[in-house]
Amino acid sequence: MTEPLPLELSHVHKRFKTGFLSLRTATAVTDLSLALRTNEIVGILGPNGAGKTTTLKMVTGLIFPTAGEVRLFGEPVHRRAARARMGFLPENPYFYDYLTAEEFLHMACGLADMPLAGRQERVTAMLKRLGIHHARALPMRKFSKGMLQRAGLAAALIHDPDLVILDEPLSGLDPIGRRDFREIILDLKRAGKTVLFSSHILPDVEDLCDRVAIIVKGRLREEGALTDLLEHGTRNTDIEVRCEPARGELLAREFPTLDCASTLAGFRLGVPVGENLQELLGRLIALNLEIVSVRPHRLSLEDLFVAHAEGAPPEAPPEREARDEGAKSAPDGEPKSAPDGANQEVES
C-alpha cells in the first residue's frame, strides 16, 4: 500500500489525572483502535461523556494518549508535518473576541503556512462559502452561535486539508445551517477528502457517513459500514399486500407461519427470519394478490445506539417494533390480535 492511511489510532488509552495533587485518575478512553481510509466519511457516535471529544483531542495533538499511538498520514501526530494536512473544528469553538472574522481567517492562513499572495482571495471565498461574508468586519464577540460555528469551519478548511476533523459540527445550527454544513461535508467527500466527525444526532450520521464507530464509556463498541451494522440487526421482513379484507381468512390459512395484520388497504404479513422469501412471494403472486411493498424490517441506528448506550447486547430492542405494530393497527379498529402476534413472534 503506497498512500498511508489518513488517520490511524492503535490501542489508544487516555487516563486523566484529576483531584487534589492529581492523585485520582479518570479513564476517558480505553483501548480504542480505528483507521480511516482515504475519502470516506466516518462518524464517531456516542452519548454524552463517551469520550468523543477526548478522542478527537488526541487525534489533533491537543492531548497525549496515556498509551497507544495516533498517526496522521503515517506520521505520529506530534510532528508538525503530520498535522499540516489536517483541519479541525473544535466543539463549540471559542475565538479571540478582539478579532474580526476576516482577521481570524488571515491568522488561520498564516498558521497553515500559506504564502501571503492569494490569502485574501481564499479568505473571501471561504467567508462567502460559509455565508458570513457580510459580517467579515465584525468583531467575533458579536457573532451568534451559528456564525461562530461557520467561522470555525471556514478556518478549519482554509488550507484545503486532506483530513477534516469536526467535533459536533452540526450542534447549535438552525435547519439552514445544518443543510449548509452537510452540503459542505458531502462536497469534501466529492473532492476526495477524508472526514471524521463526532455526533450524537443520529440522522446526521445516518445519511452522511460511510462508516460509524460507536463509543460508549470510552470503549469502541461497534464499528463498520452503516448498512452492515444495521444489516446484522435485521429482524424480519414485512410484505404489504392490497386486497379486500375478506381475504384475510384465506391468508391466515395459507400462511400459518406469518404474522398477518390488516392495514387500510389490505394486510401486512410479517415474515420471520429464515423463511424462504422468494418462494413466499411466488405463492402470493400465484394467489393473485397485489404486492405493495417488501421491506426488510431493520434495526434502526437509533435502536443500535440506545442498545449500546444502555449496555445491552445489540440485537435486543424488541419493544419498539411491538409499539409500531400497535400504533399502526389501531386506526383500523381491528381486534388487537396483531400486536399479540407480534409479541409472540419476538419472544420466540
Ligand X SMILES: Nc1ncnc2c1ncn2[C@@H]1O[C@H](COP(=O)(O)OP(=O)(O)OP(=O)(O)O)[C@@H](O)[C@H]1O
Where along the sequence are the contacts to ligand X (CB under 6 A)?
Answer: 16, 18, 26, 28, 46, 48-54, 91, 200
Positions 72 through 111 that interact with Mg ion (CB under 5 A): 91
C-beta closer to ligand X: residue 54 or 236: 54
Whose cell is 464499528? That residue is: 223
Least Cβ distance, residue 55 to Mg ion (angstroms) = 9
- Which three cell numbers, joined as nine digits, stand for 265? 388497504
Q: What, of ligand X, Mg ion, another protein, none, does residue 326 touch, CB below 5 to 8 Å by kind?
A: none
CA dist 338 and 336 (Å) reads 5
Nearest Cα to 291, choosing from 237, 238, 236, 240? Answer: 240
CA dist 1 and 241 (Å) reads 51
Least Cβ distance, residue 198 to ligand X (angstroms) = 7
Binding site for another protein (CB under 8 A): 16, 54, 57, 60-64, 78, 80-81, 83-84, 86, 88, 90, 93-96, 98-99, 103, 107-115, 152, 155, 165
Least Cβ distance, residue 91 to Mg ion (angstroms) = 5
Least Cβ distance, residue 50 to ligand X (angstroms) = 4
C-beta closer to another protein: residue 81 or 264: 81
CA dist 76 and 167 (Å) reads 21
- Which three cell numbers, joined as nine digits, stand for 200? 450524537
C-beta closer to ligand X: residue 213 or 299: 213
C-beta closer to ligand X: residue 28 or 155: 28
DSSP letters of 126-165? Answer: HHHHTT-GGGTTSBGGG--HHHHHHHHHHHHHTT--SEEE
Positions 26 through 65 that interact with Mg ion (CB under 5 A): 52-53
24 bridge partner residues: 18
C-beta closer to another protein: residue 78 or 283: 78
CA dist 89 and 153 (Å) reads 6
For the four alpha carbons of 195, 197, 203 and 209, in that order, the dihedral sign comes to: positive
Positions touching Mg ion (CB under 5 A) are: 52-53, 91
